[in-house]
Amino acid sequence: MTATPPSTFIVADDHPLVRGALKEIVGSLGQAARIVEAADLEAVVVALADNPDPDLLLLDIHMPGSTGLSGLAMLRAEFPGLPIAIVTGSQDASVPRRALDLGASGFIPKSASFAGIREALERILTGEIYCPPDLDLPPEQDPEVVDLIERMRSLTPQQTRVLTMLGKGLLNKQIAFELGVSEATVKAHVSAVLQKLGVDSRTQAVIRLNKLASET
């Protein structure tokens, strides 16, 4: 009889103590688990390349390489079937709604208890979209953000990555090097991004992207 392979979890946070705590909680779920750690967004991408189809990604939104929810947007575009639980200490009241609108499978405050985080993970693993029951989750109030999220859903994974790199201030040649493509290809992606976001310049695109940045 073939043994059931262990579940794979990616724990992404730039603080080792937080990763350690989350690993302990994942390990308490009562199933064989393979846990991969990542300390920045680049490491998350590498972990996903090395571990296709993980059962769950636990993602902090304040890590090197990610500006607010831009990292979630990029990962959601590049890995559309990946369950992503946002685990954050952010106090920004807009984050839960925006994270779920961008396709997160759940929102878990770091202030939650061991048992609370464990319950949240269990529910997300069953396919539920989780948000703490005591958390007020009104509809997005900023029409610009509503429009931006809708427009970002139209971006291809590569266009989303280019937009994220524009947000970091990278030049076309730097983006081309990072993605392993020509500058002409990057220019074409930038033009498509500007058109889909309804803006005329890279600066305006970055300003729109920063609407997804929560407080730091």
According to the model, what pLDDT value does residue 84 have?
Answer: 95
pLDDT at 213 over 70: no
The DSSP code sequence of 182-211 is -HHHHHHHHHHHHHHHT-SSHHHHHHHHGG
According to the model, what pLDDT value does residue 216 have?
Answer: 39
Q: Which CATH architecture describes the domain 143-212?
A: Orthogonal Bundle (1.10)
Question: Cα Rg for the chain, rounded, in angstroms?
Answer: 18
Domain with CATH 3.40.50.2300 in the chain: 7-125
pLDDT at 138 over 90: no
pLDDT bin (cut points 50, 70, 90) of residue 126 is very high
pLDDT bin (cut points 50, 70, 90) of residue 8 is very high
Buried b (16+ CB within 10 A) or exposed e, 155-171: beebbbbbbbbbbeebe
Report helix, strand or coil for 67.
Answer: coil
Select the more confidently predicted residue: 164 or 136: 164
Hunting for tokens 């080792």 — which residue is that?
A: 16
Domain with CATH 1.10.10.10 in the chain: 143-212
To 10 degrees, the CA torsion angle through 143, 145, 149, 155? 110
Sequence-ordered strand ranges (E) for 99-199: 106-109
Hunting for tokens 């920004």 — which residue is that?
A: 92
Task: Please determine, looking at this structure, whether the domain spanning 7-125 carries the CATH number 3.30.460.80.
Answer: no
pLDDT digits (tens, 9 = 90+) for 29-70: 877 789 999 999 889 999 999 998 899 999 998 888 776 788
What's the burial of 151, exposed, middle or buried (CB within 10 Å: 0-12/13-18/19+)? middle
pLDDT at 25 over 90: yes
pLDDT digits (tens, 9 = 90+) for 71-94: 888 888 888 889 999 998 877 778
